[in-house]
Amino acid sequence: MTIGIRLAGKNNRISATVFSRSLSSFIELLQDVDSAVSGKSRGTVRWDLAALTKRSPAMVEFSGVPRIGGMDYSHAIQESVLDGLEQLTQKPEQPKFYSFSALQKVHRIAEQSKHLKWLTVFCDSHQTTINDRVSINVDYLVTTGSKSLGSVRGSLDAIIVHSGHEFRIWSLKWLRPITCRFDKAILPQVMAHLKQEVEVIGELHRNSKGEPVKMEVHQFIALEPAKTLPAITELRGILPDLYGGKSLGEYLSEMRDG
């Protein structure tokens, strides 16, 4: 299965700047959704060039190749990218595996599409056109809403340091990743608790529906993992001696005999 981007230039001409910006934002979107789908901070898929057409409409197509052993997430990533874009053509609602960072990537692609006749993202099963409606809906999500002091709990699933210091928390309450920006000084603490339950407190940005989309972290708290119940063999000495040193069978036999 492959995924790609097509760009049709006005008067059959495409600016090199528009092409490069659209392509780089598209690749970053794939990587961002990869992190959210797989829960791996550096992602799990390498995107190899599968096809390239230079004339307008230009086309760049990629095939996903797993970078590490284990599950191949490439199909799920591609479907999540297309489903999310399709959702953004219809309404200003944050897709499931789209973090605030991913929305910013879509916003950049939509801005570049204004310099083109049209721009589409496609995979084997369907395609979506990045149009003015996508731009309006994403702009609404990333610019409107409110911010206040708040907190978020969840699993610290990914850390990103190549474009600032961010990590993502997968919130069970909201069922989506929330981008958290933090100071470099707490990077060792953040890295030590990757894949663990944490709570962050800070300036929480919400969209127009009141759903959290990103946070400026002021305080980072590692939550204790849930304690497991002791094994039966470990209960000796914890529970009182209920049967006077006898086995349960001996105790019941004595009770029956009076």
Q: Can you give the pLDDT at residue 238?
A: 45
Check: CB of residue 158 under 8 Å from CB of residue 39.
Answer: yes
Check: CB of residue 85 under 8 Å from CB of residue 123.
Answer: no
In a domain, 245, yes or no: no
Both 54 and 182 in one domain: the answer is no
Residue with tokens 């990218």: 81
Q: Which residues pair with 4 in a beta bridge?
A: 61, 122
Helix-strand-coil split of the chain, %, nearest 5: 35, 35, 30
3-state secondary structure 21-42: HHHHHHHHHHHHHHHHHHCCCC
Of 139, 88, 142, the C-alpha closest to 111 is: 139
Both 150 and 139 in one domain: the answer is no
Over the chain (258 residues), what is each successive 10-residue block's mean pLDDT?
94 93 95 86 87 92 86 92 95 87 92 95 91 90 82 86 80 82 91 90 85 89 66 50 59 59
What's the CA gap between 236 and 23, in Å, rounded?
64
Give the structural domain span for 6.
2-143
Both 21 and 87 in one domain: the answer is yes
Q: Per-residue DSSP letters for 114-168?
A: TTEEEEEEEESS-EEE--HHHHHHHHHHHHSSEEEEEEEEEEEEEEE-BTBSEEE
**Last-in-domain residue among 126, 143, 160:** 143
Both 84 and 156 in one domain: the answer is no
Q: Which residues pair with 212 in a beta bridge?
A: 206
In a domain, 167, yes or no: yes
Q: Can you give the pLDDT at residue 235?
A: 47
Q: Can you give the pLDDT at residue 239?
A: 46
Query: What total number of domains does the chain contain?
Result: 2
Both 131 and 158 in one domain: the answer is no
Both 35 and 136 in one domain: the answer is yes
In a domain, 244, yes or no: no
Three-state SS at 184? helix
Q: Length of the chain, please? A: 258
CATH number for the domain that contains residue 198: 2.40.50.140
- Please state whether the predicted TM-score (pTM) of the whole model is above 0.85: no
95: region left, alpha or beta (phi > 0 left; psi from -120 to 50 alpha): beta
Check: CB of residue 166 under 8 Å from CB of residue 146.
Answer: no
Both 187 and 117 in one domain: the answer is no
**Residue 180, both tokens:** 């958290």
In a domain, 121, yes or no: yes
Check: CB of residue 82 under 8 Å from CB of residue 121.
Answer: yes
Both 8 and 108 in one domain: the answer is yes
